[in-house]
Chains A and B, each alone.
Chain A
Amino acid sequence: MKRAGAREDAGLRTPWLALSGFLLPALVMYAAFTAYPVARTFWNAFHKVLPNGNETWVGFANLRAILNNDPTFWKAVGNTLAWALVSPVLEVSLGLLLALALYARIPFARFFRIAWFTPVLISYVVVGILWMWIYNYDWGVANELLRLVGLDAWTRPWLGNPATALPALIFVTTWMWTGFNMVVLLAALSSLPSEVLEAAELDNCGWGRKLWFVIVPLVRPTILNLIVLSFIGKMKIFDLVWITTHGGPLWSTETVSTYVYKRAFDWSTFDLGYPSAIAAIWFVFVLAGVLILTSLLRSRERLEF
């Protein structure tokens, strides 16, 4: 990123008055509605917090209870991690293939680009309801198509079956985000120097090899960003699950977010401390996940050169 001349007028005194005028509104909003709540969640995690505002110190009791004997929490962690690890692979690889197809100068590229991007603009609430209908046992498109091609045995209530509910929801997020990944990758591909690709063409290497050894390394920074973005998005997924399955059947689609919500606002447990502790643990998980992913993918990049 070029920062032409930014922050170089150091010869002048810093105009503190103007500067604080520019920064204060944002910092106040940030402090009141982001920083303070984050700190308060960590505070809650070590307390029993009753709805009447009564807070009692419980030390590490919440954290111990969550980590040692809360099977629902671990079930939710398993589901969310599965989602967060499978989705990036599906979305980025499919997105890359579609982007390459568009990059090969096919007709109607602009139309395709706009059509593929649409799912990501629609709210999870609308998407969730639409896909509940698509997965409907009696008349949903999924089962209708299976019946059409004679695979009646495969028809099932996709979201009502503990074995298929989570994969079915992962499929929905893939439907939603692949187009987004494709558009980002297309932008990255278009900014590549064309000589490199032409050189690969002349060297007569096949499509697969060209893809893997030339194109993927060149757009690796973008791929890395997309993987991290998709990972973060799935680690916090709530809306889609809440609309479609509420975490069921049999906890099969319970995510950490829905579990936190249930413990805080849905079940009459009357304690905001315990769900805050889950949120705090999960916050550390997400940060660690992002750091691990970034360092893994970056070190591979370094090894290649």
Chain B
Amino acid sequence: MNVSAEALYVEPTLRSARRPLAGHIARSLLLILLAGYTAFSAGPFLWLASMSLRTTSEISANHYALPSILHWEKFPAAWFGSSYGTYFLNSLEVVVAAVIVLTLIGAMAAFAFARYRFRMNRVLYFVIFSTIIFPPQITIISLFQVLVDYGLFNSLVGLTLVYIAFQLPLTVYILESFFARVPQDLFDAARMDGYSDGAIFWRVMLPIGLPAIATTVILNFILLWNEFLYAVVLIADDAKRTLPLGIQKFMGDQLEDIGMISTGMMISVIPVVILYVFFSEKLIQGMTAGAVK
């Protein structure tokens, strides 16, 4: 009796005495581990950034030194001297055009699927949605044939059209799930006020759906900016290359010029970094949409 009472009394104090120290050690270990993983995860990118400001001879002398002199002149050199400017503008043209059209027709379709009752609604939605899991090989060869038939092979317009179709399922999926959750009262009220279907879409759905639309815009921009397979099959001329193709070509031609390759890669990464700095939360939401249920 006495013993057990003592045990009851001692144990909590022992525990509370042990906890903070063990807790601190565990926490510090955890932090070190996480910092290590962060270095692993972000390190290659920082290395790239540092090399983009160093010349190839400086890099060869020591691959891991920080830039001692910042060679900003490498950026105009890559832009004007190695046609990265052309590649960048091609990418920008294709991606911006694709994203604008994609957002518009994707939002319209999502609105129809989310807010109208009609036969085939779920069937059509499922058909479009299921394309998300298709491997691109199932369309790549025939798209090559189709674009040749339409006279759109090796043209930025053709690539833009393919990109629109390629990202359509994801866009419709993200927007539909958002649009469907908006309360019906808003639409009923708009209809009472005499809004047409088109006006309801423009003046009620789009403004309310703006957060989801912004997510798809940023997400599509980055995914298409980085796209490689369709571009490599559907574009042939150097003057029409997008950035990923341009980098690959430059790498093939100038294998040893690590400094300039880094600068070119940095040019392609900078727009993504800028978007990420301003919209990291939106982007993370977009990329994780659907994976969390």
Q: Which residues of A contact B (CB under 8 A)?
A: 1-10, 14-15, 18-19, 21-23, 25-27, 29-30, 32-34, 36-38, 40-41, 44, 49, 98, 101-102, 104, 106-107, 112-127, 129-131, 133-134, 139, 141, 144, 175, 178-180, 183-184, 187-188, 191, 221-222, 225-226, 229, 232, 235-236, 238-239, 242-243, 256-257, 260-261, 264-265, 272, 275-276, 278-280, 282-283, 286-287, 290
B-chain residues with CB within 8 Å of residue A272 when the two chains form the complex: 141, 144-145
Task: Judge whether B124 and A229 touch: CB under 8 Å.
Answer: no
Closest 5 pairs (CB-CB, A-B): A5-B184, A123-B226, A33-B165, A18-B197, A26-B109
A-chain residues with CB within 8 Å of residue B45 when the two chains form the complex: 118-119, 122, 130
A-chain residues with CB within 8 Å of residue B143 when the two chains form the complex: 33, 37
Task: Judge whether B165 and A29 touch: CB under 8 Å.
Answer: yes
- Residue from A4, A112, A235 within 8 A of B183 (CB atoms): A4
Q: Mark B30-55, 1 if CB is under 8 A from A, else 0.
A: 11011001101111110110000000
Size band of the B side of the interface? 35 or more
Which residue of chain A is the closest to B280 with respect to CB atoms? A114
Q: Is B115 engaged at the interface, CB distance under 8 Å to the other chain?
A: yes
Given contacts A134-B44, A282-B138, 11 further A-B contacts (CB under 8 A): A5-B183, A22-B197, A37-B142, A40-B145, A44-B142, A115-B41, A122-B226, A123-B225, A124-B228, A130-B47, A280-B138
Task: Judge whether A22 and B112 touch: CB under 8 Å.
Answer: yes
Task: Judge whether B272 and A26 touch: CB under 8 Å.
Answer: no
A-B contact count (CB 8 A): 284
- Residue from B38, B133, B161, B184 within 8 A of A8 (CB atoms): B184
> Secondary structure of the B side of the interface?
helix
Q: Which residues of B contact A (CB under 8 A)?
A: 27, 30-31, 33-34, 37-38, 40-45, 47-48, 63-64, 104-106, 108-109, 111-112, 114-118, 121, 124, 128, 131, 133-146, 161-162, 164-166, 168, 172, 177, 180-185, 187-188, 196-198, 201, 222, 225-229, 232-233, 244, 247-248, 251, 258, 261, 265, 268-269, 272, 276, 280, 283-284, 287-288, 290-293
